[in-house]
Copies of this chain bind each other. A is one copy, B any other.
């Protein structure tokens, strides 16, 4: 339920849908568009310029990014301006960092266990050899 997007008035910030966020990130053109938006807002044609892609193709990718909450667009007159929404990027990064921390914590504990075990093991080996 936490990951479901709330339509209409949300009470508090909506939890980013990690399925959609990671799905949106799984494409090099969409990552290039995000990359561009870290340098500041851009119009759709500015986003399209460095990509070898039709404008409708760019708009389609933009819709995926918007649905994932990674990008926000605003229409001013005839120009649609696109902005990065850093919250969804941060949520994906936090998920990965959390898993990495657990993994590293596990390795640390394994290291400690090995260190604790080392002296008796060495003694046993010496005793057996004598």
Chain A interface residues toward B at CB < 8 A: 3, 18-23, 25-28, 31, 34-35, 38-40, 84, 86, 89-90, 92-93, 95-97, 99-100, 102-103, 106
Contacts and interface: CB of A to CB of B under 8 A. Distances in A.
Contact of A25 (B22, B39, B40, B84): B22
11 contacts: A19-B26, A22-B26, A25-B96, A31-B95, A39-B102, A39-B106, A84-B103, A89-B100, A89-B103, A92-B96, A93-B97
Contacts of A95: 31
Per CB-CB distance, the 10 closest pairs between chain A and chain B, nearest first, are: A22-B26, A23-B26, A93-B96, A38-B102, A22-B25, A38-B103, A22-B22, A38-B99, A19-B26, A86-B103
A73 to B, nearest CB: 17
Looking at chain A's contact residues, the main secondary structure is helix
A28 to B, nearest CB: 6
Given A18-B25, A18-B26, 8 more contacts: A19-B28, A22-B23, A38-B99, A39-B106, A40-B106, A89-B103, A93-B93, A93-B100
A31 B21 CA distance: 13
A27 B97 CA distance: 17
